[in-house]
Amino acid sequence: MHPRLQSVFVRPFPPRRRVRAGLLLVPALAVGLVVTGTGPAGAQGGSVALVAYSTPKPAYSVLATDFAKTKAGQGVTISPSFGPSGTQATSVTDGLPADVVNFSLATDMAKLVKAGIVSSSWDKGPTKGMVTDSIVSFVVRKGNPKHITTWADLVKSGVQVITPNVFSSGSAKWNLMAAYGAQLSQGKSKAQALAYLTTLLHHAVAQPASASAALQTFLAGQGDVLLDYEDDALYAQHQGEPITIVTPPQTILIENPIAVTKTAGPSAKAFVAYLLSPAGQKVWGQQGYRPVLPSVAATFHFPQPKVLFKIDKFGGWTLVNKQFFDPQTGLVAHIEQSLGTSTASS
């Protein structure tokens, strides 16, 4: 089983305090919930509560070990919790103690800013609040037997695509915005780009619930091409999976935000400082992420797509989520509906 899959479905227990509250009887439970709900979630002693999305789990195990070897990291233990980005953000607003938060989308950080847990100036640092970059890549069978190199190749007849379900997976949203933006950057109109999305989803033979489930489905032999985070694909390749990674000519730059919570102690800040330092960024790079520090990024040789655009091209995540990915009124919901009804009647 792919190790990342576990983290998607099973989130480790939140730190001690809450677990204990759950074991006590009813009145204690009520009190316990109040305590965890409103109490300060700051670092206690040398422990840093890290709440992150699923994909960087293997990277963090290396980073935590490496951090412990630094001067600032001596005696500090990182207690991590991994899960789907949106779920993790909701857990924190619902009272899951957190000192450092790392999400796949800035939207999830916005939830915490709105709840008053993260300062609104979280994105004012030199890296604009981002800790890692990545891109949307094509993952194909080893040796690329179907010669898939461009977005147009994905919708050729007989090509089966796997991309996660957009309503449950942040990764799927990046994928579709990459596809949409790739069309625009090739001079297509918005309507043509939407038509492309429709064709692309028509070629989707599976829309698994999460990025990890999608990778698992692809590795089980289904589909010809999987749309995936480059870092996730590199990790799978590193694990010895028989895949080839194709960098599309046009794709989206994925930026993953990190922040400390308002109540975080000095060790949490030191940990984030380490993650953004050249030493930390080098580890991220070795783990398949594109470093956000240009000096470190230059030492790695990540393939450069011809056109690389950001989500800002479409007005940022808040707008994109509303326009494209609202499960009831979004453009993609309409596309799925039209596909569903057309196949049902044919």
- Does 240 contact another protein by CB under 8 A? no
CB of 115 to another protein, least distance (A): 13
Q: Please list every residue from 175 through 204 that binds another protein, using CB under 8 A.
A: 204
> Three-state DSSP class for 315?
coil
Q: Is 39 left (phi over 0), alpha (psi -120 to 50) or beta?
A: beta
> Three-state DSSP class for 46?
coil
The strand pairing partners of 25, in sequence order, are: none
- Does 327 contact another protein by CB under 8 A? yes
Q: Which residues contact 14 (CB under 8 A, 6 or more apart)?
A: 81, 91, 96, 97
CB of 149 to another protein, least distance (A): 23
CB of 127 to another protein, least distance (A): 26
- Does 32 contact another protein by CB under 8 A? no
d(C-alpha 126, C-alpha 56), whole Å: 22
CB of 201 to another protein, least distance (A): 9
Pick between residue 19 and residue 205 the one whose CB is nearest to another protein. 205
Pick between residue 87 and residue 237 the one whose CB is nearest to another protein. 87
- Total chain residues near another protein (CB under 8 A): 36
CB of 222 to another protein, least distance (A): 5
Among 171, 217, 261, 287, binds another protein (CB under 8 A): 217
Pick between residue 169 and residue 175 the one whose CB is nearest to another protein. 169
Q: Please list every residue from 4 through 23 that binds another protein, using CB under 8 A.
A: 5, 9
> Three-state DSSP class for 258?
strand
The DSSP annotation for 150-211 comes to SHHHHTSTT--EE---TTT-HHHHHHHHHHHHHHHHTT--HHHHHHHHHHHHHTEEE--SSH
The DSSP annotation for 80-143 comes to EEEE-HHHHHHHHHTT---SEEE-SSHHHHHHHHHTTSS-TTTT-STTTTEEEEEEEEEEEETT
Copy the structure tokens of residue 4: 């990342």
Pick between residue 87 and residue 263 the one whose CB is nearest to another protein. 87
Pick between residue 39 and residue 327 the one whose CB is nearest to another protein. 327
Taking contact as CB under 8 A, which single stretch among the options 125-133, 134-142, 147-155, 329-337 is the one that binds another protein? Answer: 329-337
CB of 206 to another protein, least distance (A): 3
- Does 134 contact another protein by CB under 8 A? no
Pick between residue 148 and residue 268 the one whose CB is nearest to another protein. 148
CA distances from 111 to 117, 170, 332 (A): 9, 15, 23
Among 15, 58, 208, 280, binds another protein (CB under 8 A): 208
Pick between residue 74 and residue 329 the one whose CB is nearest to another protein. 329
| Residue 194 backbone dihedrals phi, psi, to 5 degrees | -65, -40
Q: Please list every residue from 295 through 324 that binds another protein, using CB under 8 A.
A: none
Q: Which H helix or E strand runs over 61?
A: helix 57-69
Q: Please list every residue from 64 through 123 that binds another protein, using CB under 8 A.
A: 84, 86-87, 90
Copy the structure tokens of residue 84: 């789907």
d(C-alpha 237, C-alpha 230), whole Å: 10
Pick between residue 80 and residue 170 the one whose CB is nearest to another protein. 170
Among 92, 109, 136, 213, binds another protein (CB under 8 A): 213
Pick between residue 208 and residue 265 the one whose CB is nearest to another protein. 208
d(C-alpha 67, C-alpha 143), whole Å: 38
CB of 88 to another protein, least distance (A): 11
Residue 25 class from Cβ within 10 Å (0-12 exposed, 13-18 middle, 19+ buried)?
exposed
> Three-state DSSP class for 253?
strand
Residues that bind another protein (CB under 8 A): 1, 5, 9, 26, 84, 86-87, 90, 165, 167-169, 204-209, 213, 216-217, 220-222, 325-328, 333, 336-337, 339-341, 343-344
